[in-house]
Structure formats: C-alpha cells, structure tokens
Amino acid sequence: SASRPLHKREMLSSRPRFNVTPTTHRHSLGARRHRSVAVSRIRPRTNGTSAVMGDATAALESLELNEERFVGLLRNLIGEVEKLQNTGVGTAYVPQEDLAIKHVLDVLAPHRVENGGPLEIDHVTYAEGRGNLIIKYPGTGTAEDVLSFVGSHLDVVPANPDAWDVDPFSLTVDGDKLSGRGTTDCLGHVALMTTLFSQIAELKPKLKTSLTCVFIASEEASGPGIGVDGLVAEGKLDHCKPGPVVWVDCADSQPCIGTAGAITWHLTATGHRFHSGLPHKGINGIELGMEACARLQAKFYETFPACQKERDYKFITPSTMKPTQIKCAPGGLNQIPPEATISGDVRLTPFYEVAKLKQCIEDEVAAMNKDIEALPTRGPCSKYVINPEGAEPIVGRLSLEWGDHLLTGIACDLESPAFKLMCDAINEVKGKAEPYSLTGSLPLVHEMQQEGFDIQLIGFGLMSTYHADNEYCSLNDMKDAAKILSRLITKFG
C-alpha cells in the first residue's frame, strides 16, 4: 500500500565505507564488552588448525559453487514466482512459499537423514501452503557450538511483465547476468544456500560447529506469525541463540552493520470550508497542515540530531522525518480546503528509541492544539480560529495517526566472532572488506536481536536491482559468495 514504508528497495549502491583489517583470530570472548543480548560462545579455530584438517574440511575451505546445480535450482524457483508474489494477507498477492520449498527439498532429498545423509530438515508451516524450512548439519561440539544462516526468504515483491525487458517469471541467463524477479531478493540466496548445504552434505566434513540454514515465509509483506516471527515465538530457533546468526538478505557481498527504523505517520489538519474569495471566513486545512508539519520537523531534528554513533557506523544519513504525500478534501479550486492530511515517514537510526520518538511527536501535536493560534499564518487573511458573531468559535485542530507498518533499526555487534571472521573471509575472496550502514530498513531483524540473537547482515545480490524492474544478480558474485561462506564455516571449525 502507499503508506507502507519501503525498505530494501531504497538501499543505495553508493555509500561511504571503511576498511576492516584482517583479524588474527585471537579474540577472547571473555574480554568482550557487555551486551544486552545473548552472545556467541563459539571459539573459532586458529589458523594453525588448517594443517591438521581432514580432507573433507580442507575441501570445504576451497569449495567452488556447483554452478549447474545452482542455476538449475534458481531456474525452477523463478519459474514459481507468479505464485510467490506478496503484498500481504488479504490482498491481491498472497504467496504459496511451499511451491519454492518443493524444489529446495528435491535438491536436498539425497542428503536427508531419512535417506542416509547428514541433513536434518524440518518443514514448518503456520498457514496452508506457506512453509518455512529449517536445515541442520550437525557438528561434534556442544549445544553452544552453532553457526546459523537465516533470513533468505521464499516470497518476492510483485513484478509487472509489461515494464520488464525480459520475462520476470522465468530465469534469463545472459553470460554472468541472471535475470528474473527474486534473483537478487531473495530466491538467489535460497538457491545459493541450498546448493552450499547440499555440497557440504556431500563432503561430510567433521565440524565441531553445528550449522543451521533457515528459509522463511512472508518477509516482503505483512503476515503475522507465518514466517520467522512464528518460528521464534514457537522456540524453533532457540538452538541458534548461543552462536551468531548471519542474516543472508542484503546485497553487494559486504557486511551491512546498521539499518534504520521506518515509521510512517499521518497528520490531519481540520479547518473550515469557505469561498476562496472570502478567505477570512475559512480555515485553510492545507496551510494549517503545512505549518504544523514544519514545526514537527523542527522539533524532530532538535530532539534526534545526528550523533557520533551514526558516524562510527558510517551511516549515509542521520535520522530524518519528512512528508512524502499530501491529500485534501475534494472541492473546487475556488474553495478553502477544510481538511488536509500530510503523510510521511521517519527513518530512525538504532541509537534512538521508537517509543521516545512517538511520545515526542505526540506531545508536540498536543501543544499545537492547545495554542493553535501560535502557529505562523500566511498573509493577512490566514487564520486558524474564526469567531463568528453570536456563535461558538471555529477552531482548527490537528490529529496524528501512526501507520500500521513499523520497522525498527539494528546496530550489529562489531565484536561478534561472526563479523570479524566474515570480514576475513571477504578479504580473502574479494580483496577488501568494506562494511557499511544505511537508513534503508530490514524487517524482522531487530525483533530477533531483542530476543537474544547475535544478528549479522550480509547478502550477495545487487543493491541497484532490489525490487526493481529487470532485477538480476551476478553469477560470479554468487560463486564468490559460496567461497566466502564456506571459508567462514571452516574458520569456526
């Protein structure tokens, strides 16, 4: 809907970055700073361990993506996209994620425990046809030795074939370019992780660390309790809490270390309709709304200014509040509009609290209603209170409504072993790790962090094609992604 905040589609491909020096893997978890959420107690293996690794583990460290398997699975997944489009429960597009899961299970079938393989697979459904998939590769360590890959989702945003140069509902391969809805967001990641886990199952490396991969339903639009929120509520992911959770649903093959919250708002200004030739007898809802919006913005930037932590995390912009849409009561151009609604959003960095934001704005609206005449007027006939002779005063008023959809930002733990080792793996494969933050928004991750998960963010599609017409991903990027992830796994051992 128009009021729903955009999130990943707004993530910009150009952004300030900072380099990460490769670690020596000698970090002690006991020396880590205090965190309010559960932290990993996994001890990554040291570099010296590689000399005594088994052949299978050494092969994992040098793994190359099975290109034929990956492209074949992606082709099957994109072939289901017409029925994976999602605009929310009760709308025109309600996906059937189980259609995608069927193809994933076909690839993993030979490697399931039931068929003599090492993979434990749990197909969890909270709504008919809308499943989630939990895949486990058990390690030899304790329950605390875990590394999880979560967040790759099975639904997509809608695509209009008329706006595309290729068919969005089938995979088009043009050299390195793989086109189709979901190639970047996020079926490309589903195919990547499925192929990677199938290759791990074939190698059967002896790992101390248990691996989990989770594919989720209902990420692109509302569907409470259907996707990862349902899994968390039911305790299906509790086994992931002791170790890092790598959320595989960002882009550009670099760690995203911070996102912003997205909160929508609607400010309605109610005035009094009258003939525009007699403006002194009306209260202009548009003027009242614009002046009130300006005051709210001034209050916002005074209360939630740019801060040092935003600079530390290399955020592209600080927190912002701005109008993005306006509508008014129908009428003629020769009438003073009696009502106007100005709508917009707030992008709030994770260093400020949403509850405090809401209280601040609500208090300011109440203060304006208490003294509506204190707002600036426009010209000698503009006013917000009319005193008709022999009648009660007509007073302009303001009302604020928060949108239903709310996303909260996240600041990743930069002391997490997963973050440091992920940067090392990227350095090895790409030559440089360049973590970044941005005021785009991701759903679900803040809630998981609040539940005690150590969330780290990465993805391997292209930021420039997120939710775009002619969406595509790079095959070479996905091949590099398999190298990065397999090296990350071997670094944990």
For residue 430, what are its two tokens?
Answer: 């790409």
CB 113 within 8 A of CB 119: yes
CB 336 within 8 A of CB 276: yes
For residue 190, what are its two tokens?
Answer: 């589903």
414/40 Cα distance (integer angstroms): 12
Catalytic entry in 155, 220, 229, 364 = 155
Of the candidates 284, 307, 244, 135, the one whose C-alpha atom is nearest the C-alpha of residue 491 is 244
Catalytic entry in 82, 98, 219, 424 = 219
Residue 155 designated active-site: yes
Report the chain's C-alpha Rg in angstroms.
Answer: 26
What is the DSSP annotation of 316-333?
Answer: SS--EEEEEEEEE----T
Dihedral angle sign, alpha carbons of residues 183, 184, 187, 188: positive
Of the candidates 190, 140, 18, 150, the one whose C-alpha atom is nearest the C-alpha of residue 448 is 150
For residue 135, what are its two tokens?
Answer: 């895949």
337/342 Cα distance (integer angstroms): 13
Dihedral angle sign, alpha carbons of residues 450, 452, 453, 455: positive
- Name every residue whose Cβ is closer than 8 Å to that of residue 64 and which is 6 or more positions away in sequence: 479, 482, 483
Element (H, E) at 421: helix 417-430
Q: How is the chain split among helix, strand and coil, in percent rounded to 5? A: 35, 25, 45
Of the candidates 141, 150, 149, the one whose C-alpha atom is nearest the C-alpha of residue 42 is 141
Phi then psi dihedrals of residue 246, to 5 deg? -90, 115
CB 271 within 8 A of CB 288: yes
CB 377 within 8 A of CB 384: yes
User: In the beta sheet, which residues pair with residue 122?
Assistant: 134
Of the candidates 317, 277, 271, 274, the one whose C-alpha atom is nearest the C-alpha of residue 409 is 317
- Name every residue whose Cβ is closer than 8 Å to that of residue 409 and which is 6 or more positions away in sequence: 258, 259, 260, 261, 348, 349, 350, 439, 441, 446
323/441 Cα distance (integer angstroms): 18
Element (H, E) at 146: strand 146-153
For residue 346, what are its two tokens?
Answer: 């707030």
Residue 219 designated active-site: yes
85/393 Cα distance (integer angstroms): 52
Q: Catalytic residue positions? A: 155, 219
